[in-house]
Amino acid sequence: MRPSQTDNTLTTSADGPDTDVLFCALLRLGDNCLILAQQIGKWCGHAPDLEEDIALANVGLDLIGQTQMWLNYAGEVEGKGRSADDLAFFRDTREFRNALLVEQRDEDYGGTIMRQFLFDLWHFNLLQHLCQSSDSGIQEIAAKAVKEVAYHADRSTDLVIRLGDGSDESHRKMQDALDSIWFCVEELHSPDRMDEAATDLGMLPDLVKIGVDFRGQLSNILAKANLTEPSDVAMRHGGKSGLHGEGLGYLLAEMQSLQRIHPGAQW
């Protein structure tokens, strides 16, 4: 199977279902990192201070490195000769498998930090479990990435606590950011049929169990930050299946423009 528009039906390709599930899982892992890195990139030269400008750039570069590992491996598994660059620059919006959270646009720096924090906390929990994946390729990549993401999570957690429990203005902006993005959080730890198939094969951990740890840690951190977890919010899913908001189309148009105009161009 290559991912359908909804990923509701698992079909079998000539390579076998195990290979197809692995390919789809790798796309999801790589696309999350790729789209978030592109979002962070806009702060280069525009962050609130020089230290933060450099820190955000470094986080973005870490994520690009992880993207390259995940998507290169996906290309190898697919067996069609596609590289990480091919998968990044020559897929259309509905072919991307990132979670909705990472594609959400931020209104200000507070929104950037809140989005980063929510992803980092979940991402770190996921990578810790991926280090025990039944697939040796996933194990190897996760072992490299988890060291970087441990720093990402520590950093964004510290900022959320400092800003949330800071001035009246910083508190308001962080609460507004949390409220505006909360509808995307549940998708991170809600498995669909593709996730369940990968879990059954031992490739991915049980996302429900990860969600329990993630939500427990999240509640403790939000309490320290003097932030209130939103309630009565209609949760949205679908990014992992290729159902995205219009913002992703604009992001990809900018990110892919050079390669689309000049395929194969190199520096």
Interval 53-109: pLDDT, tens? 788 889 999 999 999 999 999 999 999 999 999 999 999 999 999 999 999 998 899
Band of the pLDDT at 115, cuts 50, 70, 90?
Answer: very high
Task: Decide which of 7 and 168 is more confident.
Answer: 168
The overall average pLDDT reported for the chain is 91
Q: Which H or E element spans position 87?
A: helix 84-89
**Chain CA centroid to CA 257, Å:** 22
Q: What is the pLDDT of residues 29-45, one digit of tens each?
A: 999 999 999 999 886 77
Would the pLDDT of 264 be above 90? no
Contact 226/171 with Cβ under 8 angstroms? yes
Span 168-189, mean pLDDT? 97
Band of the pLDDT at 1, cuts 50, 70, 90?
Answer: very low
Residue 141 confidence (pLDDT) = 98
Would the pLDDT of 8 be above 80? no
Would the pLDDT of 48 be above 90? no
Residue 148 confidence (pLDDT) = 98
Span 165-187, mean pLDDT? 97
Band of the pLDDT at 191, cuts 50, 70, 90?
Answer: very high
Nearest to 248 by CA among 37, 100, 115: 100
The 3-class secondary structure across 120-173, one letter per residue, is HHHHHHHHHHHCCCCCHHHHHHHHHHHHHHHHHHHHHHHHHHHHHCCCHHHHHH
Q: How far, in Å, CA of 185 to CA of 230, rounded?
A: 11
- Token pair of 109 as six digits: 């720096």
- Which residues have a Cβ under 8 Å from the Cβ of 235 and sit 6 or more positions away? 183, 184, 185, 186, 187
Predicted structure pTM score: 0.91
Band of the pLDDT at 14, cuts 50, 70, 90?
Answer: very low
Would the pLDDT of 265 be above 80? no
Residue with tokens 């290169």: 72
Would the pLDDT of 143 be above 80? yes
- Structural domains for the chain: 17-229+237-250 (1.20.1260.10)
Span 173-202, mean pLDDT? 97
Band of the pLDDT at 9, cuts 50, 70, 90?
Answer: very low
| HSE of 220, CA atoms in CB hemisphere, 13 A | 9
Q: Write 205-208 long-range contacts (CB < 8 A, 24+).
A: 205/126, 205/129, 205/130, 205/132, 205/133
